[in-house]
A = this chain, B = another copy of it.
Amino acid sequence: MSLEIFGDRWSLLVVRDLMFGGRRTFKEFLDSGEKIATNVLAERLQRLEANGIIERRRDADDARKVNYALTKKGITLAPVLVEMIIWGARHEETAAPPEIIRRMVADRDGVVAEIRDQWKKDRSL
């Protein structure tokens, strides 16, 4: 089963950050609010890469930097993540849900389409 991805808290968070959080570097993931250890993050990034969900490339400008990005396969996770987030928004008391989440609730498929378009743009740079 695909539970390797869906059944894992940390993998889900990394994909979420990549998909909606605009985060792409090791450090950015680390600073994502939730406290993840460096070894754990490294292990998950490897696993996600092995599963073809993300890919890593060195930054063109700064050779020390590494950028992670969702692969074509990875971006297909959007509908699942969006559905999870909608569910969460409906069943937990969030003071004021961010704009993006309100839009998901109102127009799920529209937001998924946007996410895909944005990914294509970023990718073709």
Residues of A within 8 A of B (CB): 1-3, 6-9, 12-13, 73, 76-77, 79-80, 83-84, 86-88, 90-92
Contacts and interface: CB of A to CB of B under 8 A. Distances in A.
A14 to B, nearest CB: 12
A91 to B, nearest CB: 7
Contacts of A86: 79
A86 to B, nearest CB: 8
Nearest to A7: B9
A3 to B, nearest CB: 5
A3 B9 contact: yes
A34 to B, nearest CB: 8
Contacts of A2: 84, 87-88, 91-92
Contacts of A88: 1-2
Contacts of A76: 87, 90-91
